[in-house]
Structure 1
Amino acid sequence: MGGNQYRVGDVMTRTVVALASATAFKDIAKAMRRWRVSALPVVDDARRVVGVVSETDLLPKVRLPLRGPDPDAGPHRLADLAKAGARTAQELMTAPAVTARAEDTLSQAARSMARHQVKRLPVVDADGLLQGIVSRSDLLKVFLRTDEDIAREVDRELAACLVPEPVRPLRVTVRDGVVRLGGRVRDTAQVPLAVRLARSVAGVVDVECALGGPRRRPALDPDLPGGAAAAASAAGGDVP
């Protein structure tokens, strides 16, 4: 999508509620309820992100009774038991935090969320300082773009990247995020490129391609009746 590609910094939430390492369990639960979020970043005194506390980290307190150590418990069970007895954000948090950078593309952020099975990522700068937070719903904001806005960007991308210019201006129409490309290009090898360019524009749901190459005139056999005249006419010459 060239230099216009949407980045995390374009969609992230910049006002972020963060926890200090010493924040108590009940205060964490209250903050999640008040701000209607399921996870909160944990920062140190310099506002560097050191971890994340999610509802998943709080649930062992509800799910597991506090009892003595179980000699047959596996590593996951032991981790849950440790969190069941935790009192502060530092004891509860998952660390190190999975983070994003403001300059990351939306697809990079989406892949990171899927790989680590998280719903949101703290956004940090080069020094690890908290800048914002990006959630799955933030990544979907690009699909709120109007069809007119998408069509204008597709037009710009195609005009900038298709060389030589099409036989005639391409027709770009968008309906409900679905782009339809029509017209003729001088080189049919550019058709896949045009589709990729259109598909990479933020907010595009799908691309329907009706692009064709230049019209070709039939090669007429001059030995056939009327063939010489037709061939000369197509070439702009005279019949001897």
Structure 2
Amino acid sequence: MRSTVADVMTTEVASVGEDAGYKEIVSTLLERGVSALPVLDGENRVVGVVSEEDLLHKVEFENDTSARAYWPPMRARLRARLSGAGALAERADEKAAGRTAAHLMSTPAVTVAPAALVIEAARLMERRGVKRLPVVDGTGALVGVVSRRDLLRVFSRSDSDIAAAVEDQVAEVSRWDRGEINAVVEDGVVTLSGPVRRRSVAHALAGAVCGVEGVVAVTNNLDWEIDDVAPYPQMGV
């Protein structure tokens, strides 16, 4: 059975309200040893996330009076606006002037549901370029946080546990393919060997085993009698 976000998330979550001040946010980040905090409204719903990056804009623009006094020519402003750079710079400047979480946070927050699979959360983190995801229920209320480290817990599964799960996959295939398949697990790497009737079965089994939680890689040494895998069509044929 695949692990969900609820299985690996942290439920004791550090967060701040929308009216939390800059120094309160910094103190909470340092005390809890995290790089970002969910920002909550009065009903415990996640309205944004404030990160170290958001806070560093104030350091970046601190005492930078020359940058604030300079106003580029109209042509340069139009070019920057069209490229999107102007909007990003304007937002960074706004955050530098911000005093509360409501002004400093990034919004909307990238969140995930407790029932989402761990692999789904990992893909979301990769796609959105974040290291932590607030976990919210159906109303948007905060119930936990899942980090990259939390997602890696599935790979701490023992070889014996992985082998038992792999054997279930092998038994299902052997039941109707009549193959004598062997599976060896070492450091999360599964090696499959033995005969099967069809090449498609060998491919399907390797794919199923690769999806077993905790499997790092699959070495497919299965032999087949019938090559029923259609070759890729050649151009012009």
Give the alignment's TM-score, normalised by structure 1.
0.82
> For 1:50, what is the secondary structure of its paired residue?
strand
Instruction: State the distance in 1 between where 2:29 and 2:151 align.
Output: 21
Name the structure 2 match of 1:98.
110
Name the structure 1 match of 2:206.
195
Q: Is the aligned partner of 1:155 residue 2:167? A: yes
Give the alignment's TM-score, normalised by structure 2.
0.83
Q: Is the aligned partner of 1:20 residue 2:34? A: no
> For 2:184, what is the secondary structure of its paired residue?
strand
Instruction: State the distance in 1 between where 2:37 and 2:173 align.
Output: 43
Assess if the C-alpha contact under 8 Å between 1:162 and 1:194 holds in 2.
no
Relative distance call for 1:52 and 1:69 in structure 2 (3 A) is: farther
User: Which of the two has greater helix per residue?
Assistant: 2
Amino acid at match of 1:36: G
CA deviations on 1:63-103 (whole Å, 9 max, x unpaired) are 11354464337222221111111111111010110001112
Kindly name which structure, 1 or 2, has the bigger radius of gyration based on alpha carbons: 1
Name the structure 2 match of 1:71.
71
CA deviations on 1:205-238 (whole Å, 9 max, x unpaired) are 11011222369xxxxxxxxxxxxxxxxxxxxxxx
CA deviation after TM superposition for structure 1 residue 138, in Å: 1.1
Stretches of structure 2 lacking an aligned partner (at least 5 in a row):
78-85, 227-237
Aligned positions of 1:92-131 closer than 5 A? 92-131=104-143
Instruction: State the distance in 1 between where 2:218 and 2:144 align.
Output: 33
Instruction: State the distance in 1 between where 2:137 and 2:69 align.
Output: 41
Q: Is the aligned partner of 1:164 residue 2:161? A: no
Q: Is the aligned partner of 1:210 residue 2:207? A: no
Relative distance call for 1:15 and 1:182 in structure 2 (3 A) is: same
Instruction: State the distance in 1 between where 2:11 and 2:173 align.
Output: 34
Name the structure 2 match of 1:9.
6
Instruction: State the distance in 1 between where 2:221 and 2:94 align.
Output: 60
Name the structure 1 match of 2:154.
142
Aligned positions of 1:222-233 closer than 5 A? none
Question: Identity rate of aligned residues, in percent?
Answer: 41
Relative distance call for 1:208 and 1:125 in structure 2 (3 A) is: same
- State the superposition RMSD in angstroms: 1.9
Name the structure 1 match of 2:95.
83
